[in-house]
Amino acid sequence: MRILMIMGLLWTACAATGASAADISAGKARAGSACAVCHGVLGLSTLPNAPSLAGQPEIYLAEQLKNYRSGKRTHEVMSVIAKPLSDQDIDNLAAWYASLQIEVREAR
């Protein structure tokens, strides 16, 4: 029973750390200055070759930014944009775009 309680506390601590690691407001501020021109103020693409980021999974977004930063994924603009981002910047940006809710409907 004690082991279960300790495991529960550890899980809660880890979850809390994970939740507090990313700052949505900071991500929103950073996105407004760095990303909005191409990806839209609310994450809806403004260019035919830029993806919409609104509502994308947080893990996917962070992974792609890290791939651009490391050079695993390349793009003439994104490779430059991602270069100076810290892990914290990336977590914040991913949290901001993932926090936006999207609804989809099939065109008639």
Give the DSSP letter string of 46-81.
SSTTS---TT--HHHHHHHHHHHHHTSS--TTHHHH
Closest CA to 52 of 33, 62, 38, 66: 38
| 49 lines the binding site for a copy of itself (CB under 8 A) | yes
How many Cβ atoms are within 10 Å of 30's Cβ, its own excluded?
17
Binding piece for a copy of itself, criterion CB under 8 A, among 4-12, 15-23, 43-51, 79-87: 43-51
Q: Does 19 bind a copy of itself (CB under 8 A)?
A: no
| 82 touches a copy of itself (CB under 8 A) | no
Provide, rounded to whole angstroms, the least separation between the CB of residue 94 and a copy of itself: 11
79 binds a copy of itself (CB under 8 A): no
Q: Which two tokens mark 59? A: 């893990």
Binding site for a copy of itself (CB under 8 A): 42-45, 47-52, 54-60, 63, 72-74, 99-107
